Amino acid sequence: MKRTSVEPVKKTKLVLIGNGPVGFKFCEKFVKYRLGKNYDLVVYGEEKTPAYDRINLTKFFSDKVAEKLILASSNWYAQHKMVLRTGQRIVEINRAEKWIRTERGATETYDKLILATGSVPFVPPIADMDMEGVFVYRTLNDVQAIHDFMRPGQKAVVIGGGILGLEAARALSESGLKTTIIEVAPHIMSRQLDADSAAILQKQIEALGINILTGIKVERIVGVDNTKLVVCSDGTELNADMVVMSAGIRPRDELAVSSELKTGPNGGIAVNNYNLSEDENIFAIGECAFAAGKVWGLAAPCFEMAEVVAARLAKIYKVFTGNDLLTKLKVMEVKVISFGDALGEKDHIPLVHSDPGSGIYKRVNVSPDRQYVLGGILLGEAGGYSSLFHMVRNRIKISGSPEDLVTVNPDTASEKITNLPDDTVICLCEGITKRTIVTEIKENGLTRLDEVKKFTNAGSGCESCTSLLEDLLAEITGDQAAAGKM
């Protein structure tokens, strides 16, 4: 009997440019959707270190161990049949012949290409970046350089009062440096907070010994012997031993530009609602993409893009929306929550409770007909944010008086996470529902936050849902679980 041979199925070659947090998130989704059955994945990273946690870069100042920030070892990629090439910058895409070239001259062909090149710090033309003591704050190498240079008692100036700038200032201040923040906008965290909430937060930060100057522009930085003179637009002059730039980001779209891919009005690789560029073989995800009318700088929407592309390659047709954002973090130990249309960009009625003396601010924006919650800001007192965000995300009508939404001490019984509908998405980055998390906690007897993260993968992205997970765990297992929090 004649034997017949079965030809192996030829896999599609998938190349991923970028091994930052978003690129790594795609790798996780590659595993989740078992794309290895049909695709061979090659990952290029510009840095020598495999993907690490940029969101928690400031932890390096206390831990001083870079390895703790690594998201997965090189072995993890190999175990999942991915080829990881670190320390290799891509300088050219040939769309016609479908290959890429590294700065070393090596080429790699592709069938499908994903760009996750991220962003670079926006550096105003005010200083020579080769000047000793002038740094940007973006990568592990940046943080290492800052750490090696700084000494307690030095004077530091941080240019930029956004989330990353405040984190940098905190790290410097806690390391014993006299720190000043300069923000060109009228107030700090201008993308998340309104003027009144920012004023309350600024007062609390200044109470920690950090000076903040807003509404002024740094015009130039002059090297004077071993110090720098920071000259501002209003005539203010500050002496500094070191200057840290954290004045925003710009999408890394130079590969798209050189290969004549369409970009957004202010940069970013233009993509449709499933993150495909005008080239049918090239996707773009994360901060390098211009998606849904803007460039996104927060983790959750960038991770959503990775999910959308991985799902589509698995023939599951999801689309990127980027709506209903939730930013939940601690700034200098102050709880800050911003969700939905927090700043009232759409027609709205703002409902506000403000108590500057107690450091509490609560703003809820409701629709002009007073029927729906559109977004809001909570500072200091975070009670009620879970149900408010649920109302925004699922467009639930307001029951009762809208003014009750800004009550400082809401009914804690009605605010329990366990009272939310089972299909409420707790982890936006991974799309994990309350039902999934509760089931895993109960069936596996989970009592610690790290166990919940391991079993559900919730909280493994931007970590903005960590407090939700802690609250949910505590409600299910009892107050004793608080001792098991990490």
Q: Does residue 129 lie in a domain region?
A: no
For the entire predicted model, the pTM comes to 0.86
CATH of the domain at 213: 3.50.50.60
Q: Is the pLDDT of residue 466 over 60?
A: yes
Q: What is the mean pLDDT of residues 249-267?
A: 96
The HSE-up count of residue 419 (CA atoms within 13 Å, CB side) is 10
Residue 410 CB partners (closer than 8 Å, separation 6+): 383, 384
pLDDT of residue 171: 92
Q: Are residues 345 and 424 in the same domain?
A: no
Which of 36-45, 219-228, 433-442 is predicted most confidently? 36-45
The CA distance from 356 to 201, in Å, is 9
How many distinct structural domains can be found in the chain? 4
Q: Are residues 39 and 103 in the same domain?
A: yes
Q: Are residues 327 and 427 in the same domain?
A: no
Q: What is the mean pLDDT of residues 248-260?
A: 95
What's the pLDDT tens digit per position in 278-335? Answer: 999 999 999 999 999 999 988 888 998 999 999 999 999 989 987 657 777 778 888 8
pLDDT of residue 390: 77
What's the pLDDT tens digit per position in 366-389? Answer: 999 999 999 999 999 767 777 788
The fraction of the chain above a pLDDT of 90, given in percent, is 63
Nearest C-alpha neighbor of 334 from the set 197, 156, 481, 191 = 197
pLDDT of residue 481: 39
Q: Is the pLDDT of residue 198 over 50?
A: yes
pLDDT of residue 410: 52
pLDDT of residue 472: 86
Nearest C-alpha neighbor of 320 from the set 276, 280, 287, 279 = 276
Q: Is the pLDDT of residue 486 over 50?
A: no
The HSE-up count of residue 163 (CA atoms within 13 Å, CB side) is 20
Task: Single out the residue in 415, 430, 448 at which a domain terminates.
Answer: 415
When the pLDDT of each residue in the chain is averaged and rounded to a whole number, the result is 88
Q: Are residues 116 and 255 in the same domain?
A: yes
State the pLDDT confidence band at 413, using cuts at 50, 70 and 90: very low
pLDDT of residue 461: 62
- Say which DSSP state 70 is in: B
Q: Does residue 31 lie in a domain region?
A: yes
Q: Are residues 102 and 69 in the same domain?
A: yes
pLDDT of residue 256: 97
CATH of the domain at 475: 1.10.10.1100
pLDDT of residue 6: 56
Q: Is the pLDDT of residue 93 over 90?
A: yes
Task: Single out the residue in 387, 415, 443 at which a domain terminates.
Answer: 415
pLDDT of residue 377: 95
Q: Are residues 163 and 232 in the same domain?
A: yes
Q: Are residues 332 and 261 in the same domain?
A: no
Instruction: Note down the domain range covering 207.
Output: 134-247
Q: Are residues 445 and 378 in the same domain?
A: no
Q: Does residue 4 lie in a domain region?
A: no
What's the pLDDT tens digit per position in 105-125? Answer: 999 999 999 999 999 988 888
Q: Are residues 111 and 255 in the same domain?
A: yes
Q: Are residues 355 and 276 in the same domain?
A: no
Specify whether the backbone of 30 is left (phi greater than 0), alpha (psi in -120 to 50) or beta.
alpha
The CA distance from 233 to 220, in Å, is 9
The CA distance from 203 to 447, in Å, is 37
Task: Single out the residue in 381, 415, 449 at which a domain terminates.
Answer: 415
pLDDT of residue 482: 39
The fraction of the chain above a pLDDT of 70, given in percent, is 92
CATH of the domain at 341: 3.30.390.30
Q: Does residue 7 lie in a domain region?
A: no
State the pLDDT confidence band at 484, using cuts at 50, 70 and 90: very low
Q: Does residue 126 lie in a domain region?
A: no
In 430-453, which positions are buried (b, 16+ CB within 10 angstroms) versus exposed (e)?
Answer: bbbbbebbbebbeeeebbebebbb
The CA distance from 14 to 12, in Å, is 6
Q: Are residues 241 and 138 in the same domain?
A: yes
pLDDT of residue 359: 93
Q: Does residue 5 lie in a domain region?
A: no
Q: Does residue 430 lie in a domain region?
A: yes
Q: Are residues 110 and 254 in the same domain?
A: yes
Query: In 252-372, at which residue ranges do the beta strands (DSSP E only) sit?
Result: 269-270, 282-284, 289-291, 294-295, 326-331, 334-340, 349-355, 360-366
pLDDT of residue 412: 46
State the pLDDT confidence band at 20, using cuts at 50, 70 and 90: very high
- The answer to whether 174 and 150 are in contact (CB under 8 A) is no
The CA distance from 329 to 327, in Å, is 7
The CA distance from 38 to 331, in Å, is 44
Q: Does residue 2 lie in a domain region?
A: no
